[in-house]
Amino acid sequence: MSIFRDREKREMPGLNTAALPDLIFTVLFFFMIVTHMRSVPLKVKYQVPAGTEITKLVKKSTVTFIYIGKADGKTRIQLNDKLATVDDVEAYVKAERQRMQPEDMKRQVVSIKADRETDMQVINEVKQALRRANAYTINYSATEKSEK
């Protein structure tokens, strides 16, 4: 009987939590590195077209994105987080260029992310506005076409 009484008198040792902050910060840094945050909430819906000659953009800090897709049943243009018209594209591209570093201004790339069903008239109007803004390097976003 005395064996059982000795066990009752002992207290459970406390849990050592010294390494817990290190573990938490390691997991936090892991998720910060692997998570891609979308900086612009999409207001237009677009389905990316497929292409055969796909290349990745090298320096994303020089890229200005223009989204073209369906919103409210019409084809709309989104610049940053607001819906806009073709007339707003020129001023938007110039303002984005002014925010860049001086050495990056010459390497500005405008990436058009357009729905595959977008009329070419809208694309051509956007391209004309980009010419007026002296933005001649244009990239069209697409996914790689799978070969069947």
In terms of C-beta density within 10 A (0-12 exposed, 13-18 middle, 19 or more buried), how is residue 124 classed?
exposed
Residue-wise pLDDT tens digits, 115-130: 988 999 999 999 999 9
**What are the E-state strand segments in the chain?**
50-51, 63-71, 74-79, 82-84, 109-114, 138-140, 143-144
Q: What is the pTM (predicted TM-score) of this model? A: 0.68
**Do the beta carbons of residue 63 and residue 139 sit within 8 Å?**
yes
Among the listed ranges 55-59, 83-87, 105-109, which one has the minimum average pLDDT value? Answer: 55-59
**Is 46 a residue whose pLDDT tops 80?**
no
Whole-angstrom distance, CA of residue 10 vs CA of residue 129: 80
> For strand 82-84 and strand 74-79, is the pairing parallel, antiparallel, or unpaired?
antiparallel
> What is the Cα 65 distance to its own chain's centre?
9
Whole-angstrom distance, CA of residue 86 vs CA of residue 132: 12
Whole-angstrom distance, CA of residue 66 vs CA of residue 46: 12
